[in-house]
Amino acid sequence: MFLRTLFRPTLTLRSKLLVGPAIIVVVIGVLAGYAAVSLNIQSDNASVVGLVGRQRMLIERLAKEHILAAEGYETEYQETALVLDDSFTALLEGGAIRTEVG
């Protein structure tokens, strides 16, 4: 239907020449919007991957601090456990996380 209207003999050459660039601009706009949405989704995924990696690091630190505490060394394992718990809650329920660790 649209193509029949576009190539109808009643349209002037000038009108026909203006429709082509207009279609290109619309297509570019749609592609730019799609790219913006995709980048936003990828950014969210990267944040989750970073948080999961942080959880792994905190679990390793907590295990190390418990071993050191069992050997009689002074550690801050309770602080690490709090940060780990806060990060786990943020991962499951969403929300802010503590940026300072140890």
Task: Flag whether 12 is in a domain.
Answer: no
Task: Flag whether 7 is in a domain.
Answer: no
Task: Flag whether 46 is in a domain.
Answer: yes
Residue 37: is its pLDDT beyond 70? yes
Rounded CA-CA distance 41/6 in Å is 37
Task: Flag whether 19 is in a domain.
Answer: no
Q: In this predicted structure, what is the pLDDT of residue 2?
A: 62
pTM tops 0.85, yes or no: no
Condensed to tens digits (0 to 9), the pLDDT of residues 87-101 reads: 888 878 877 777 666
Task: Flag whether 71 is in a domain.
Answer: yes
Count of structural domains within the chain: 1
Condensed to tens digits (0 to 9), the pLDDT of residues 42-71 reads: 777 777 788 888 889 989 999 999 899 889
Range of the domain at 97: 24-102
Cβ proximity of 78 and 85 under 8 Å: no
Task: Flag whether 11 is in a domain.
Answer: no
* Degrees to nearest 5, angle at CA 85 with 80 and 89: 150
Q: In this predicted structure, what is the pLDDT of residue 60?
A: 92
Task: Flag whether 15 is in a domain.
Answer: no
Average pLDDT over residues 25-43: 84
